[in-house]
Chain A
Amino acid sequence: MTPLPTDQPRTVILGVAASDAHAVANQLICRLLRAHGFHVVNLGVCTPLHEFADALDAEPAAEAILIGSVNGHAYADLRDLPELRRQGRLDRPVVLGGNLSVGAHKRSADLDRLTALGVDHIVTGLSELLPLLDTLHAARQPAPQHG
């Protein structure tokens, strides 16, 4: 696959985890990304993981899957990630941000088990997001061939 022409907007898929109805950060991040020229497919609140996979099938040019979770149930909501990846789906960097487990103090064990599920990047501050997307873009490998 040839790299995307530079005048094409970069596409990302954005949404909030399945059990989470918090719209505020989702909509503000969507607005931020659009203001920086991204084409954002925003799936909104309460989005099951398989709908992220469906969205990627529909928008194969997407560079990353950005999932927000602020209700502390990220692990439960992302449980199906290994299975989807085994099926060859969601083969883009999965970036997770928000408030990732119940309780005020995050333990590295909470983050480790999310990484073990296959989450590629965990963003802990808003200012990290755009630089991370630029890094991913620069390092972008040709997408794996299917079939």
Chain B
Amino acid sequence: MAEFPGLEVSAAVAARLPDWDDIVAYLRNRPGDTVPDVLRAADRSGVPAIQPRCGVGGHAEMLALLRELALSAPSVLSVTIDSYTRLRQFDVAARVLAEEPARLNGYPLVAHGWQRGRELADAVPVPLEVRHGSPDGRDLFATALAAGITSFEGGGIGYNLPYCKDVPLDVSLRSWQQVDAACGALADAGVLVDRELFGTLTAVLVPPSISLAVTLLEAVAAAREGVRCISISYPQGGEIHQDVAALRAVRTLAARYLDPRVEVFPVLHQFMGAFPADPAWASGLILHGALTARLGGASKVVNKTEQEARGLPDADANGKGIRLTAVGASSMFDFVELDADRVAEELHWIEEEVAELVEPVLAEEDLLAAIGAAFRTGRLDVPFSASVHARNQVIPRRDPGGAIRYADHSALPFSGATRRRHAALLAGSAPAPRPGPGEITAVIRDISYFADRTPARTP
């Protein structure tokens, strides 16, 4: 049975995997670019790498999907994992796969096995990333490594609070600590794993400083386990000065708080909230996201599609999303210049707010325990999470320009200056932010900010 350094893999999964030494040897000798190679090249060129989300249940269908999307020239392709596998229900995933693979909302990598995973990785000329949503991704990570996939999304906060109702943070943080420790062992053996942290969280009006505080804490924890390559994703909010500042803050915060041996890459997730149903508005929003990524110096952008409002996109729409993103991130829009003072002002305040959120936590001896305690007391919080392990009491609103501000920061330990700024910026937003039916309507209107941009006549 395979033994992994630092990583506890369930007996049933480990029994099917190659030995650790064989996996390391395979990964070291695998030809072609890795995700870190792609991200470094993107930083050198100033043009972000592009990656779609994609995953279907059947193996032949997944191979076909990857090959079709590769024709649109993405820089990285995804293996998006199904919900059963995310919850470690590998037997259920295998049964549904046998009976009706189209019912799976992603690729059940553990059920298919690492050998088929290698077939996916060998089928396309670009590296793959596994994207999922598991509070405990250890078995999946071991299988991905054996498959030759060295880019793996997730973290103990970002893959718990938005996805689970009742998984204690300590449980998810400790399981991701093991994934990170295995990455540290791999780095020592000369294999660099890209660990992407999911700053998108609930995708509902996430204030930049909450996204960045969460991913920064996860990044510090990962670096302490020896992770040497971290992608930090941030969700496009839709106000470009704020979004560009947030992407730049990924690099400035990393320089301030992370071991300099760690490479950090900012990633933009094109708008993850309620998408416009109208294909023209949807395409405009995709283009806007691509431009935001380029102006913010993102190393990578994860694209959306014009079918987003309807659910999972088909390959055709996804290919179109990749190509449209490439146009938006190209030099075609080089004439666009943002107000530098306005971006600098946003950047200053984002850095300030993140410091106010993370520094008390980083000062504690046991970082993972401190993170759990901060969420219990509301000194860290995520708006609108499903979890009972967060307070869920922060209320975000859009200011008149569309930027996301704190209408109620609840117990977040913000300074007087930070609080006054948010109150002042929201003073122009009607109605005044206080609990009531009017507030609910207003928050829902802010959530539907882009979804509402639909012509009166829809097909």
Contacts and interface: CB of A to CB of B under 8 A. Distances in A.
A31 interface: yes
A84 B202 CA distance: 34
B166 to A, nearest CB: 9
Contact of B384 (A23, A34, A126): A23
A127 B165 contact: no
B184 to A, nearest CB: 34
Contact of A127 (B385, B388, B437, B447): B437
Interface string B98-133: 000000000000000000000000000000000000
A21 interface: yes
Nearest to B204: A24
Interface in A38-68: 44-46
B309 interface: no
Contacts of A34: 435
Chain B: interface size category: 20 to 34
Given A28-B443, A31-B395, A46-B386, A23 B437 contact: no
A32 interface: yes
B356 interface: no
A35 interface: yes
B437 A32 contact: yes
A23 B392 contact: yes
A126 B440 contact: yes
Contact of A28 (B165, B385, B440): B440
B8 interface: no
Interface in A1-56: 21, 23-25, 27-29, 31-32, 34-36, 44-46
B388 A44 contact: yes
B206 to A, nearest CB: 12
Interface of B: 165, 202, 204, 384-386, 388, 392-393, 395, 434-437, 439-441, 443-444, 447
18 contacts: A21-B165, A23-B202, A23-B392, A25-B440, A27-B392, A28-B395, A28-B439, A28-B444, A31-B435, A32-B435, A32-B436, A32-B437, A34-B435, A35-B436, A45-B165, A46-B165, A46-B386, A126-B440
